[in-house]
């Protein structure tokens, strides 16, 4: 021990001597030398806390501060790292500065910047400059630049899209289609110009009429007129009308402007009226009112017929409205004895081939048929079904059959809950009749429910159901019935009492209403959870009372309502005494557990000490 103490004492004295000796030498070595005078021109002299002076290169320079301080190139690490995105870095002697690339501008609106003040380069929206793309062009901004494209109605000159006028020398010019060309036998009626979307309207020349096609030509974006597709045909009047009491002279032409002259037959005398007929621009001969008269008196009367035209010697008859010609001639002639040779026309009442159509038994169709001569008629029946509550649904069917019955019947596979449009066509008679019909909805499908006896004030019940097309018009209603006194429940009644709307004790109320649209195959419901379901309050059950939980499924559409009910569960209410005993028992067990835990903790603590 003594030798150790002597060793450490000797070492301490040696250390003190060496420190003093070294300090003396340092002081003597620097005494009389001005360090600051030796600093480099790009360095500064700083005095330390111990009085010593040192030379440090200034900001932007690197070196030993005395003999060497050279410029530091800050830009060598890359412009993005030192200046930020979309920038250019510029090194200067002892410093640097940043500028934004073309298409970008600094956030401080200065031409140059140092990024330590938070300045960054943001994209310049060149499209804000009015007319940057030129007339008829549309500007779209992109990062660091912009693009131009010609608008509709303009075409690009010198280049391709997209373009920039300042670089590509490209520009947009307005579309000019030039004068439109006329089609054969047409004349131009109006003309709005030769620019894009200008219109020229054409019509048929005199003596011609429209046959097909469009009469309007439109200047398109490709500098080409679109249309017209007008086709004109020459107007022909056909053979001139023939009158039994007159003859005519005619050159055989049926073109517009042709003329026919009429003369009364021998034995008849003209009594006035127009005797010349001209082929008009509508393709028909003008009316001839020439009257050639003999002394036969009024034209003879025919049953269900009217006199369409007469002149005293000839009478033309036709069946009156609602009747049609069956047999016989329709012309009565005045004979030489000044008596009429009456027409033999027979008119029969016209009845529609199909009438009084109706749907019966919601699946069959029948109607009244008018047959001509007892022949069979070919029928086509088409029906299309839709559902307002099921937008994507559509039922299309077509049946073709032949029948000679006066009351044809046809049974179809019509689906329930559907609006049908039914079209019946008699092909021979070329007659159609359309009627509408609605089929009734079905009762909603029965879910899989297992009746249960449960206890407690908040039982949870479950069911499995099948997804059905009628889900959009179907609901589940949960009824709570108090089993007290006389209990009567009518499933078909539309009455849905609220809990807050009944008097105590509340014998019956709706606890929930659930829309089946969007409901899954499994459904769980907790009775008495204080929640609102479909506008109905799920009130808590009273302790000590028994209840029936009834599930009613309802489908309703087009004024028709169908429903069914199942008893979901019987709830046996737990009495207050049972719940109190349960609470006390649970409290006693908890107290015993607490005492055991405290005893164990005390034993552990004593052993540790």
Full 3-state SS string of 295-360:
CCCCCCCCCCEEEEEECCCEEEEEECCCEEEEECCCEEEECCCCCEECCCCEEEECCCCEEEEEEE
Q: Report the alpha-carbon distance of residue 272 to residue 290 in Å, rounded.
A: 6
CA distance 437 to 383: 10
The phi, psi pair for 43, rounded to 5°, reads -130, 165
486-495: long-range contacts at Cβ-Cβ below 8 A with a sequence spacing of 24 or more?
487/548, 489/548, 489/550, 489/565, 491/552, 491/563, 491/564, 491/565, 492/563, 494/561
List, in sequence order, every beta strand (DSSP E) within 48-103: 53-57, 61-63, 69-71, 87-92, 95-100
- Nearest alpha-carbon partner for 175 in 224, 228, 139: 224
pTM, 2 dp: 0.39
CA distance linking residue 464 with residue 529, whole number of Å: 21
3-state helix, strand, coil in the chain (%, to 5): 15, 40, 45
CA distance linking residue 370 with residue 367, whole number of Å: 10
pLDDT, position 547: 92
CA distance 525 to 551: 11
DSSP string of 10-61? HHHHHHHHHHHHHHHHHHHHHTT--GGGGS-TTEEEEE-TTS-EEEEEPTTE
Contact yes or no for 215/228 (Cβ under 8 A): yes
| Per-residue pLDDT at 323 | 87
Task: Pick out the chain residues at pLDDT < 70.
Answer: 1-32, 79, 266-267, 294-295, 312, 372-374, 574-609
DSSP code string of 379-435: EEEEEEEEETTEEEEEEEEEEEEEE--SS-EEE--PPSS-EEEEEEEETTTTEEEEE
Report phi then psi at 591, rounded to 5.
-65, -45
CA distance 413 to 425: 19
Residue 542, class by beta-carbon neighbours within 10 Å (0-12 exposed, 13-18 middle, 19+ buried)? middle
Strand order in the sheet with 354-360: 354-360, 364-369, 409-411
């Amino acid at each position: 021990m003594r030798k150790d103490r002597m060793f450490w004492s000797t070492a301490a004295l040696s250390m003190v001597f060496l420190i003093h000796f070294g300090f003396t030498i340092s002081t003597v070595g620097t005494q009389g030398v001005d360090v600051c005078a030796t600093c480099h021109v790009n360095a500064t002299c700083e005095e330390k806390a111990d009085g010593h002076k040192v030379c440090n290169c200034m900001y932007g320079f690197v070196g030993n501060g005395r003999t060497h301080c050279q410029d530091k190139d800050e830009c060598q690490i890359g412009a993005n790292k030192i200046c930020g995105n979309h920038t250019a870095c510029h090194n200067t002697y002892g410093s640097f500065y940043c500028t934004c690339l073309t298409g970008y501008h600094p956030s401080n609106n200065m031409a140059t910047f140092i990024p330590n003040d938070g300045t960054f380069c943001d994209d310049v929206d060149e499209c804000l400059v009015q007319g940057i793309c030129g007339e008829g062009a549309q500007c779209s901004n992109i990062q660091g630049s912009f693009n131009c494209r010609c608008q509709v109605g303009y075409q690009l000159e010198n280049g391709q899209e997209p373009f920039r006028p300042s670089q590509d020398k490209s520009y947009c010019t307005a579309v000019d289609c030039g004068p439109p060309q006329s089609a054969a036998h047409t004349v131009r009626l109006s003309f709005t110009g030769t620019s894009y979307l200008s219109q020229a309207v054409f019509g048929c020349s005199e003596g011609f009429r429209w046959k097909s096609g469009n009469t309007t030509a439109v200047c398109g974006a490709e500098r080409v007129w679109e249309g017209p597709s007008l086709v004109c045909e020459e107007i022909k009047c056909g053979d001139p009308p023939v009158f039994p009491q007159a003859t005519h002279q005619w050159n055989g032409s049926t073109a517009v402007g042709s003329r026919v002259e009429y003369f009364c037959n021998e034995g008849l005398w003209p009594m006035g009226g127009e005797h010349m007929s001209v082929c008009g621009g509508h393709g028909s001969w003008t009316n001839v009112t020439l009257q050639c008269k003999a002394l036969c008196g009024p034209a003879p009367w025919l049953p269900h017929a009217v006199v369409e035209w007469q002149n005293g010697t000839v009478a033309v008859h036709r069946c009156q409205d609602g009747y049609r010609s069956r047999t016989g001639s329709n012309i009565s002639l005045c004979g030489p004895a000044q008596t009429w040779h009456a027409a033999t026309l027979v008119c029969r009442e016209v009845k529609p081939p199909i009438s009084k159509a109706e749907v019966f038994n919601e699946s069959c169709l029948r109607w009244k048929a008018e047959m001509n001569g007892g022949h069979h008629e070919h029928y086509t029946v088409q029906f299309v079904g839709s559902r307002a509550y099921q937008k994507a649904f559509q039922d299309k069917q077509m049946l073709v059959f032949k029948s000679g019955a006066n009351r044809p019947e046809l049974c179809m596979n019509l689906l329930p809950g559907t609006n049908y449009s039914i079209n019946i066509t008699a092909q021979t008679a070329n007659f159609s009749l359309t009627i509408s019909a609605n089929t009734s909805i079905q009762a909603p499908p029965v879910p899989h429910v297992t009746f249960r006896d449960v206890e407690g004030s908040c039982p949870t019940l479950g069911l499995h159901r099948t997804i059905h097309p009628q889900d959009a018009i179907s609901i589940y209603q949960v009824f709570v019935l108090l089993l007290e006194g006389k209990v009567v429940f009518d499933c078909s009644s539309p009455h849905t009492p609220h809990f807050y709307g009944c008097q105590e004790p509340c014998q019956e109320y709706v606890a929930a209403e659930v829309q089946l649209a969007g409901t899954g195959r499994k459904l769980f419901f907790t009775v008495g959870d204080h929640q609102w379901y479909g506008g109905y309050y799920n009130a808590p059950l009273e302790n000590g009372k028994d209840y029936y939980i009834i599930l009613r499924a309802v489908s309703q559409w087009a004024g028709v309502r169908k429903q069914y009910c199942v008893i979901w569960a019987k709830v046996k209410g737990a009495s207050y005494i049972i719940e109190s005993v349960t609470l006390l028992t649970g409290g006693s067990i908890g107290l015993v557990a607490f005492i055991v835990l405290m005893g164990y903790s005390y034993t552990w603590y004593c052993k540790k000490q």
